[in-house]
Chain A
Amino acid sequence: MDRRTFLKRSGVGVGAGIAASQLSLVQKAVAEPSKAMLDGKGKIEVKRSICTHCSVGCAVDATVENGVWVRQDPVFDSPINLGAHCAKGAALREHGHGDFRLRYPMKLVDGKYERISWDQALTEITAQMKDLRTKYSPDSLFFIGSSKHNNEQAYLLRKWVSFFGTNNTDHQARICHSTTVAGVANTWGYGAMTNSYNDMMNAKAALYIGSNAAEAHPVSMLSLLHAKENGCKVIVVDPRYTRTAAKSDQYVRIRSGTDIPFLFGVLYHIFNNGWEDKKYINDRVYGMDEIRKEVMEKWTPANVEQACGVPEAQVYQVAKTMAQNRPSTLVWCMGQTQHTIGNAMVRASCILQLALGNIGKSGGGANIFRGHDNVQGATDVGPNPDSLPGYYGLAAGSWKHFATVWGVDYEWIKGRYAPDMMEKSGTTVSRWVDAVLEKNDMIDQQTNVKGLFFWGHAPNSQTRGLDMKRAMNKLDLLVVVDPYPSATAAMAAMPPAEGDVVNKNRNVYLLPATTQFETSGSATASNRSLQWREKVIDPLFESVPDHVLMQAFADRLGFGQELSTNYKMLSSKFAGKQWREPQIEDILREINRSCWTIGYTGQTPERLKAHMRMVATFDPKTLKSRGGVDPVTGYDTTGDYYGLPWPCYGTAAIKHPGSPNLYDTSKSVMEGGGNFRANFGVEREGKSLLAEDGSCSKGSAITTGYPEFDHVFMKKLGWWDQLTDDEKKLAEGKNWKTDLSGGIQRVVMKNGCHPFGNAKARAVVWNFPDAIPIHREALYSTNEPMMRKYPTAADKKNFWRLPTLYKTVQDKNLNEKLYEKFPIILTSGRLVEYEGGGDETRSNPWLAELQQENFVEINPKAAEARGIKNWDYVWVKSPTGARIKVRALVTERVDQGTAFVPFHFAGWWQGTDLRKYYPEGAAPIVLGEAVNTATTYGYDMVTMMQETKTTMCQIEKFA
């Protein structure tokens, strides 16, 4: 019987509607029936998980037969993906094969990776960590964590690093949206996507600037294209004509790195035509007058066209479309964030949306698409060098708050740190290379970094590859914890460049971690919804889940008890032996008990699991539950928003529904509404920073602006006695962020008010280097007149523990006329088939087959001038002296002055294939040149974000 005949006879429909329980029947017809299916005794289960390849958060149902992942289906009822997957999502099941994964711990011995036991690995590594810690300081180690860890693991790692005694830890958010987080939080309160992918269905116009969602967030296009079919006008602004641009009504090509001139050019027409929302600005925005002055004086149509190459008529059309089709939304990604002035670019985007009154409105918003599947969560509660979980910062009060929650003595934690280092931000993942290589007297810590953990991070996503190789050579200890440690492994094992040497005492270890399909836990999608992943399969090979490894390291380093005071400990078998495993649910409960600032308190494991079972009850347009009781727990989802998007304030008992759209005054706080945060004082230069009278969230007992709540303010208002006696005991002397009872938040919200106050958003961020966003040309700009007109800033002597250069580098570019030798702008970005550094996705045959070689997109005229034909090999050369060998994709996607290279490749090094340096059996199928081998110096002036989007290159025919 063939498949079609079977389907005909069985009456089972083809395609989308087949329920998971029937899938085995379909499979039975096409494949040899397995024993399990025949005798009815085999164990067939369906496990629900979330794709690990981007922040959209597509749900997947995995069919597991006797422990083997045999089939996958998109979750048709998920309000987020509605049954859709992209290439990566549809290829997830390969994680159950793992043919090209690291299988067991390995150590680099005489240039080759050799298998060792877990015991040997953990014993040797922890001994060396202790040595470095004692001989130098805890800051001699740097721990690069991961946005691919789930929330619980990311949170545990921040705790773990603190107990080791350093703030030298970071993760992908630094090089992804750190500028967004800082810029946006400083504008209106929280540094996150304000609305949701789904809410974009309500937009009447959408402006994408620096986002190629069709490749980076493919399933988000469901919402956009739905809106478009209902009349939404789509504008895409990008140096490339991307797959996203192909879906636009209006495409605007700008010169890379000129977002501020463009956005302020749009604002010029908005102000000029009186299109701004005057009442909204008056009620809810501080400093728009200053912006208006700057815009009207500096960003006239002529200046805008000169800077970004966009004619006035196009800019005017964008302004008109955004103004006359409100609510209009604005989307940005790495195209805005990865610049030396990224923090200012994202604020220019915020200001445009504030001027139009689009923030806090359904269909409007600053829809900031995050990258990794849990980069939002890892940013919120994970390993950040400048903050404890929940953006609490590193001040003594924050440490005491967490010491209480963790059940450890504050003085003990303090004793783990080198003197005076506990409250000082660590260095960043973008700069670990310099923390190793910089002269010791130039860095702001006792010793250079000598030991490094890559705990779920690719090296080829960071810039300045040649310098990174030198830094890797110099380390004493390099530990890579990853299911796919391959690019780091090969870079470490390959020989040094001529004139450089490898540290004779260096040890390199590779440790096989599991993927997220071999463990359980929560992940936060870009829209701030938390989704729970069930474990799909047991760990493959000798791999071990990350949180189990953290415990194992902690046990050997002597803080195993302190790490897990509040967790139930399981004894679990991995790699043939028993391990101490902190229970994931208990870690989430600890997050619930500590992270009041961002409302990570209401998302208990029970509520999240109920949501996953009850996905069908949530409306895809609003994310709100239409009502329904979870049969397992009896939990009623009525009124909840899917995944309880943070902030979900208060304890779970008060049942805050989560906040679908931030700062939305049309809803009451207990229905997920809100207003802008009072986080910057109540007054500046005689002007109130609080919201104007009458501007507050629906049903608020206080109808004027008000400051954030603490015990004093509560007492003044006469609300203190609304707390219970038990709450009063814990809330005395505390504020809404530190009251462990949740009583302050409960009572404030009961009165319809917002715990963080009610203030104006700031168009002027006076605590940033450029309070009003100022355009500054990239350090390696190819445009000499613009560099002279819009120069970069002065060098910084001590910034995140390191000297950081701006003017010196740009002056060198000008003095040596690098822009003549390297006249083409080099920019980089994503492909739909791959993710991040790409080791994982290039190891997946279903994906790897679709993109087998790295390439540079070059305009036909630029190619012709260089004698380059389509798919020729070419050298892309950069001012660092690096050159990369890639194919030439001759295309009009880019203009003559711009070249684009995807960043997912690694494994070729300036023309040399590194395959022989990979651990045996653990090299990806597809290797290629990493664009970041060639990228240059340059870091954001607030967050140390790396500049990847605007640098320079020359392209030559390969010979």
Chain B
Amino acid sequence: MNHRGGYSADTRIRWPEWLPWLVALAAFFLLPEYLSLGARILIYILYALSLDLILGYAGIITLGHSAYFGFGAYVAGVLAAKAGVTDPLVQLVAAAAGGALLGITTGAIILRTRGLTLLMLTLAITSVCLEIANKATALTGGADGLSGVVVAPILGLFKFDLYGKTAYLYCLAMLFVGWALVRRIIYSPFGASLTGLRENSIRMHAIGAPVYWRLVLVYTLSATIAGAAGALLTQTNQFVGLNVLGFEAGGELLVMLILGGVGRVYGAFVGPLVYLLAQDQLAKQFPAYWYFGIGVLLVLVVMFARGGILGIADQALAKLRSKA
């Protein structure tokens, strides 16, 4: 399940790739009481996909991806609560555009650096965004959060209901669009060149690739998707809090992706699913110590499965095949 592009890659959709969608649809019918959690998982999958594009494929290490997610969340929220723009698709497009704008302006600055400097700059960007959101209380509600978010029915037909059915299907549809986009990118010549950048940027320079601009482009695309994911969170919660920004939010996403498996597309599906389910269950059982369980899970993955949960699955499949 290691999805690599390249000039000899088989790009056909294999049957296991339909599994997440079948599971998601089955959950809609079989677990109606968990649809709010389900929508949250779907949003974080989209968010993790955006991170996988830059971290897993282009090798851009970041702790500040929450800046674009949070910015998208606030763009949708401010439009809905302050500007009277209630159409969810308009909010979504505006949030994605906002993420893209922030992505290209910050990316153009920070992607001239690499390694620890880059890591620190990504952290700085999300910290600055957090502080701006905290201080601009008239617009964002500051530490109290932004409430009064109004979301009209989707296409004028599908109203967001109390049980979260519309929100769940809406998030699922948007995730499908995001997945199709990311999948297309990674199998394209652009995706192959991203893998080249991750593998060896010195060689990419030597073959004449415009390395810097290609990094800026993928960073902007990733920020666009993250912005859209942020808007989905605002629309489903009808509230935006400061917790969407900052180091903790960015780090949490990184943990989810590492848990699932970096650079595999579906690691972004598995990681948030396991993390958020574990968080939900552990928080119910051990309200004060639930982070301990997450920590143990992460330590185990880092120690015994560098490829994340999908890495374990790959190894197990390889062993089974070698025995057969």
> Do the two shown chains form a genuine complex with each other?
no
**What residues of chain A have their CB less than 8 Å away from a CB belonging to chain B?**
none
**What residues of chain B have their CB less than 8 Å away from a CB belonging to chain A?**
none
